[in-house]
Structure 1
Amino acid sequence: MQASIQNPALKVTLKSALLDGFALAFIYLMPTFSHILPFPVYFMEPMRIMVVLAMMHTHRNNAYILALTLPVFSFVIATHPVFFKALLIAIELTAMVGIFYLLRRYMQGVAAIFSAIILSKVFYYAMKLLAVQWALITLRPNESIVGIALWIQLLTTLVISGYVWFILHKKKNANG
């Protein structure tokens, strides 16, 4: 016998709860992964990945909730990133969600997610530059405003965009 959920609202809520639990557990365990793996896990932008998963597999409100809370949750459990930077990341991820859903009305999903990621990153670095100038965030000597190499960020953006293309293409084919 197979159990199924007949109520669509409950199904969405359960899906959101499972994804949110996975996202929180992943962010909670990220410091451990960083010590085990031979590269810094944050280079893969796990918070962005979790938010995009929410955008593709749950609903808009859940994506906004994760975008706002994952960076703050990371600060609370690992004190990384520093609080003000966590707020900037939350703003960036929230902007990405909003920009994606706005652009999705006018362009295909891949172009919308790629543009949303790039625009939200530009916004983030502009906010970070202001925060450094206003002494809200300090940089180490010789540290750039851009923490992760741009080629790594571009590669991550392309991989995320490819995933979005795959999911939206799959949904389109499933709907006929």
Structure 2
Amino acid sequence: MKECPTCRRFFPDQNTFCSFDGLKLIRSVQNTDELQQGEGQRQIPPPPKPVPLRVTIIDQSDEGHRSRVIEGLALDFGKQGMRIQTGTIETGQLHIIRDHTVAFKNKLEVEVDLPTGTVRYTGFAAWYRPEAEGLFWVVGVYIRDMAAADRQAYDEYLKLLSKGADTQTAPA
């Protein structure tokens, strides 16, 4: 996936230039190092209980057009994103994805209430699916921008989750 350094829109790898402002695209770095190489084993386990969060959808073509705050839960954490649960993926005529092309992802403003404090970031939904017969939605969210202090707090929480996995022993 490639990204425009100015407008932050995403494009398929075969594109070279942004179709909106003509600038050369850069490769979007999105690691998958939550899985250990070749083993399929998670490095970061899920939290002991889901963590409360709030999401606001921002229209990519008009940043003044924002949704109401959507309450949710963070089910899983990773270095580049998280898996969340919400009651809706569309509100105020804004859909969490906007359309299903890589180039047009609505921005998400997310606030997560970690046990150590609240962190904020902007990101976008990579995928979503209904669960429990449509009662709620599970969404994969990539982190795009996060302030340095929030990133530090987030990374510390990931370390804390990882340590929790190290101290758990296998059942006898």
- Give TM class, smaller chain: under 0.3
**Higher relative strand content:** 2
**Higher relative helix content:** 1
* TM-score of the superposed pair, with normalisation by structure 2: 0.26
